């Protein structure tokens, strides 16, 4: 059965001035709070990254979106980085982690995971975070304290590994 969760988001925006002088804005919203244009930008970036670039034909948009907390950075209305956080059976999880091609190599991935872990601390009650990481991103998540568990497996035509962070 589907569980329903309510998030009380008091501060869904945080502005950061980057080195170029432009304003980058972090947004944190539930599905019901996302505007039509924001949702389009999120879905466009996810399909661009996971279906087109990675050549993985699969149903990218799913029911998890409706229950997840969506976190992203944008600058001048352009989405730069994104992830979604959601409840698992006995843990918290996040996924669909991406930075757009124009934003890569600027440290946004690190900032995004730091923001994701902060939101998990504030809005989720499970002490364990469990993710299904693409195999080639294992070292990246290890920098945040995630430990690999088990063997590599195929998920959406890509090698993945389960990783756990006990908080």
pLDDT of residue 167: 79
- Summarised one tens digit per residue, pLDDT across range 60-108 is 899 999 999 999 999 998 999 999 999 988 999 999 999 999 999 999 9
Residue 55 has pLDDT above 90, yes or no: no
pLDDT of residue 127: 82
Residue 1 has pLDDT above 60, yes or no: no
In this prediction, residue 48 has a pLDDT band, given cuts at 50, 70 and 90, of: very high
> Whole-model pTM?
0.86
Residue 5 has pLDDT above 80, yes or no: no
Which whole-number Å values give the CA distances from 72 to 9, 25, 77, 79, 136, in the listed order?
14, 8, 11, 7, 22
In this prediction, residue 9 has a pLDDT band, given cuts at 50, 70 and 90, of: low
In this prediction, residue 22 has a pLDDT band, given cuts at 50, 70 and 90, of: low
Q: What is the mean pLDDT of the chain?
A: 88
Residue (of 89, 73, 58) closest to 158 by Cα position: 58
Percentage above 90 pLDDT, the chain: 71
Distance between CA atoms of residues 128 and 25, nearest Å: 28
């Amino acid at each position: 059965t589907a569980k329903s969760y309510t998030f009380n988001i008091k501060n869904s925006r945080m502005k950061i001035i980057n080195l170029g002088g432009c304003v980058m804005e972090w947004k944190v919203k539930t599905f019901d709070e996302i505007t039509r244009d924001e949702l389009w930008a999120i879905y466009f970036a996810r399909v661009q990254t996971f279906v087109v670039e990675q050549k993985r034909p699969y149903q990218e948009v799913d029911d998890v979106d409706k229950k997840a907390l969506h976190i992203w950075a944008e600058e001048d209305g352009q989405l730069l980085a994104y992830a979604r956080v959601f409840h698992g059976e006995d843990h918290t999880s996040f996924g669909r982690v991406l930075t757009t091609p124009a934003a890569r190599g600027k440290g946004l991935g690190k900032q995004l995971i730091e923001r994701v872990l902060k939101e998990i601390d504030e809005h989720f009650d499970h002490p364990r975070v469990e993710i299904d990481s693409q195999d080639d991103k294992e070292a990246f998540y290890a920098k945040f304290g995630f430990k690999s568990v088990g063997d590599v497996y195929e998920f959406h035509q890509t090698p993945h590994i389960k990783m756990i962070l006990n908080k």
